[in-house]
Structures are given as C-alpha cells and as structure tokens.
C-alpha cells in the first residue's frame, strides 16, 4: 500500500502560486488579500524557500516548534495566530501558537492548520489519479454504513442487468439487426420471386 499524502501537500503548490512569494514586510492593512476570486487572510505569512533555508535552525518533531535566526524578522515576521506557509522541504502549513525570542533566535510554537485557514474564500480544482487495488476497494466498501451498502448493491445489480441486456444477443443477431431493411415494393418483389422459385423447384 502506498504511503498516504496529506491533501494540503497536494494543493500546497496551488496555494503558493496564488500567494505572493516575494520577501516582504508585514502589510499595514488588516483587510484580506484578494487575488482574482481567491481571498487570503492577512494572517497568512509565506516564507519562501530561500528565506527559509537562510534562517532555519531547527524543527522539534514532537512539539512542532520551529526555530529561526532572528534575521528572519527583517524579511517576514510572524505573531500568534498567523498561518505559516512554505514550500521548503515537503511543504509546511502551520498555525502559530506563540513566538519567543532568545538571543539571536526566534522560536515559533505551532499547531496543525488546514487549507481553510489559509484560504478564506475561493475555488480550487485539481485532478489526482487514484491507484486503488481491488482488495483495498473491498475493504472500503465493507466499512460503509448499511444504507450506503444497500445503495451500492442496488446500483451494481442495475449495472449487471444493463450489461446483460446489451450483450445477450449473438454477433450474428447483431449483424442482422444492423442490416438493410427492404421497402414494401422490394418485399413484394421478393415474395413473387420466391413463389416462382418454389414452383420451378416442384416441377
């Protein structure tokens, strides 16, 4: 079974393309950013790969605390409640719980964030191939509620019935059904010819 990939990692490139990735000071206005039909909260702070790599010090895998060089404040400062977005590594989407400064480093305590935190309003469409094995599909179906199982059973029975109706005829029958049709005059002529042929055969 393939490792599961969080949905935000699939859509993160789309989000990063929507946002402005250049290194900027915090905006003065408090109103959300509107980019086309997409509305981004002003709390969303993008840290591009270059800024991240230059200022990143460590990431605590347990507490999810991120430590940066203090110099990051000259490019992108963060505060409690902000949403951090970055394309560094496998991608990052975190909500800031607290920020503390010790010496020349800044430690940002974070928690999980969702795409709805980073996008206030908007429509994102994407296509992603899904590779599901037969056994996995059966396991998914078995875990469905009873009403959904009943609906699947009914849909499958209908599909089988339609399939049988479409394949019940032989190839020769299908060939005949698709053949030309005689007009009334042609059919009358055929009957006369058959009558004459039978009379000749019985002589």
pLDDT by residue (tens digit) across 66-109? Answer: 999 999 888 788 899 999 988 777 778 899 999 999 899 999 99
Q: Residue 12 falls within a domain, yes or no?
A: yes
Q: Give 87-146 as a 3 state SS string.
A: CCCCCEEEEEEEEEEECCEEEEEEEECCHHHHCCECCCCCCCCCCCCHHHHHHHHHCCCH
Domains contained in the chain, number: 2
Report in angstroms the alpha-carbon separations of 127 from 6, 11, 113, 124, 140: 15, 10, 23, 10, 21
Q: Residue 48 falls within a domain, yes or no?
A: yes
Per mean pLDDT, which range of 7-21, 45-59, 156-170 is the poorest?
7-21
Q: Residue 60 falls within a domain, yes or no?
A: yes
Residue 29 shares a structural domain with residue 112: yes
The mean pLDDT of 140-158, rounded to a whole number, is: 87
Under the banding of pLDDT at 50, 70 and 90, the label for residue 116 is confident
Residue 97 shares a structural domain with residue 20: yes
pLDDT tens digit sequence for 12-51: 555 665 555 434 444 444 555 555 567 778 888 888 888 8
Under the banding of pLDDT at 50, 70 and 90, the label for residue 192 is confident
Under the banding of pLDDT at 50, 70 and 90, the label for residue 1 is very low
Q: Which domain holds residue 80?
A: 7-118
Q: Residue 129 falls within a domain, yes or no?
A: no
pLDDT, averaged across the chain: 76
The mean pLDDT of 119-147, rounded to a whole number, is: 79
């Amino acid at each position: 079974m393939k490792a599961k990939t969080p949905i935000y990692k699939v859509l993160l490139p789309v989000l990063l393309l929507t946002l402005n990735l250049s290194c900027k000071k915090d905006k003065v206005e408090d109103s959300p950013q509107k980019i086309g039909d997409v509305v981004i909260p002003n709390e969303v702070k993008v840290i591009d790969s270059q800024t991240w790599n230059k200022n990143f010090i460590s990431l605590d895998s347990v507490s999810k605390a991120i430590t940066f060089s203090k110099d990051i404040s000259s490019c992108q400062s963060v505060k409690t409640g902000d949403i951090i977005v970055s394309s560094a590594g496998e991608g990052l989407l975190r909500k800031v719980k607290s920020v503390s400064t010790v010496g020349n480093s800044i430690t940002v305590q974070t928690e999980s964030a969702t795409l709805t935190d980073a996008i206030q309003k908007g429509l994102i469409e994407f296509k992603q191939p899904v590779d599901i094995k037969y056994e996995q599909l059966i396991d998914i179906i078995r875990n469905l509620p009873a009403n959904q199982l009943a609906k699947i059973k009914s849909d499958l029975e209908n599909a089988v019935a339609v399939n049988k109706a479409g394949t019940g005829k032989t190839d020769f029958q299908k060939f005949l059904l698709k053949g030309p049709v005689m007009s009334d005059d042609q059919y009358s002529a055929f009957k006369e010819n058959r009558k004459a042929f039978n009379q000749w055969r019985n002589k």
